[in-house]
Amino acid sequence: MDLSFGDEYESFRAELRRFLEGWPLTGEEAKRSPAEQEQIFRKRGIEHGYVYRDIPSEYGGSGRPHDPIADQIILEEYARTGAPGNKLDQGPGMLAPTLLEFGGEALKKRFIPSTLSGEIQWCQGYSEPGSGSDLASIQTSAVLDGDHWVINGQKIWTSNAVHADFMFGLFRTEPDASKHAGISYLIVDMKASGIDVRPLKQMTGSMEFNEVFFDDVRTPAENIIGKRGEGWAVSRATLKHERNLIGSPRLMGEQFELLVARARSTQRDGRPAIEDPGVRDRIAEIEGYVRAAETTNLRMLSATVHGEELKAMLPMMMIKLYSTDVMQMIAKATYDLVGGGGLLEPAEERDGIYATSGTVSSAVHNYMFSLGPAIAGGASNIQRNIIGERGLGLPRDPRPSS
């Protein structure tokens, strides 16, 4: 079966590959700070029309016509080279498309360009102690006082809050309304007075998560996305983008390749572990799941290209659940390859998508962290409910009164 995208798109891929040979930067540019180098290359990608294609140029994107196949090729090639410009960050991947859909003109102009260029970093303030899966029960309040909202309460599990310049999040602005109707979607400056960010140490040794406390924090009244009391609908848009990021089959493919590389480089009884029939069996089984996800991805792409979005809906709902399950299998298999010896391996700075500087080796870190994506952006049980109720039309799960 020929799974290539045809001559026209393969020459587009070749042209893109030539462009990506420019990363990493060389010469004088390579002497700039890592953040500046990323900004330079991201800007170059926008100018060439490879990065942020679906975002109009007036907001800092490259404003190209919708082309799902070109998007897919760009995703694959940027991932292969690790060049900066993908959408895996919360700002470009989640906040920018939400602002485009629901934001007023002033907010779009102010925040989208600097988010895409990487000047502004974001964090997502949704979860609270006691409000995770039941997100609509959040209690952190925002009360309008003149031309500012005054915020009090606490968020938790806020990834990247330590480094973020701004938070986009959900706040209760109508305490008397029913729980879904009482929420607004606000932007908050993380340097504002009254914000206290406390990192949470994980079993990996890393500290990606934080608690964020608000004590009379003020944010301008106009920093609202969507209408007052209608933040729930806005949050659904952001979550859709988040789940697509977490569930990307491409991440699964990357992790699988790391597993195979590990099996080649790890010795077992004086031979590469990949020559062990047990290891080969396990890798072959996992590869079946990985290839099935890739094929499903191609089916979704084909449905989108042919304007049959409805056909793509059920697989789209399933892909986050499926891919986070398979990524756990991959991480467990990698960990089993290195075994207890993995605990003695030196800590590594980077290896795969779950990388952060920690106190354990990448195999151990990835295994421990692989449990997380199945929870982030909506836990697996919640995904199963969504698939059952919205995808398959099964009766709704009983819910507490709202």
Ligand X SMILES: Cc1cc2nc3c(=O)[nH]c(=O)nc-3n(C[C@H](O)[C@H](O)[C@H](O)COP(=O)(O)OP(=O)(O)OC[C@H]3O[C@@H](n4cnc5c(N)ncnc54)[C@H](O)[C@@H]3O)c2cc1C
Token pair 């990192």 is at which residue?
199
Taking the complex as a whole, how short is the minimal distance between the CB of residue 329 and ligand X, in angstroms?
Answer: 18
Q: Which is nearer to ligand X, 187 or 300 (CB)?
A: 187
Task: Calculate the alpha carbon distances from 80 to 86, 256, 318 in Å.
Answer: 11, 13, 25
3-state secondary structure of 145: strand
Read off the DSSP letter of residue 95.
I
Name the active-site residue from 58, 242, 287, 349.
242
Which run of H or of E encompasses 73?
helix 68-81
Taking the complex as a whole, how short is the minimal distance between the CB of residue 385 and ligand X, in angstroms?
Answer: 6
Q: Which is nearer to ligand X, 162 or 379 (CB)?
A: 379
Taking the complex as a whole, how short is the minimal distance between the CB of residue 124 and ligand X, in angstroms?
Answer: 4
- Which residue in the shown chain puts its C-beta closest to ligand X? 132
Closest CA to 116 of 33, 52, 37: 52
Q: Which is nearer to ligand X, 39 or 380 (CB)?
A: 380
Taking the complex as a whole, how short is the minimal distance between the CB of residue 212 and ligand X, in angstroms?
Answer: 9
**Residues whose CB falls within 8 Å of the CB of residue 85, separated by 6 or more in sequence, listed in order:** 41, 42, 45, 46, 50, 51, 52, 78
3-state secondary structure of 223: coil
Query: Cα separation of 195 and 167, whole Å?
Result: 11
Taking the complex as a whole, how short is the minimal distance between the CB of residue 399 and ligand X, in angstroms?
Answer: 7
Query: Cα separation of 93 and 118, whole Å?
Result: 12
Query: Cα separation of 378 and 394, whole Å?
Result: 19
Helix 309-338 and helix 249-265, axial crossing angle in degrees, nearest 10:
20
Longest Cα pair distance anywhere in the chain, in angstroms? 73
3-state secondary structure of 102: helix
| Residue 91: CB atoms within 10 Å | 27
Taking the complex as a whole, how short is the minimal distance between the CB of residue 93 and ligand X, in angstroms?
Answer: 12
Q: Which is nearer to ligand X, 86 or 235 (CB)?
A: 235
76 is catalytic: no
Query: How far does Cα 303 stand from its chain's mean position?
Result: 23
The residue ranges that bind ligand X (CB under 6 A) are 123-127, 132-133, 157-159, 372, 375-376, 378-379, 381-382, 385, 397
Catalytic residue set: 242
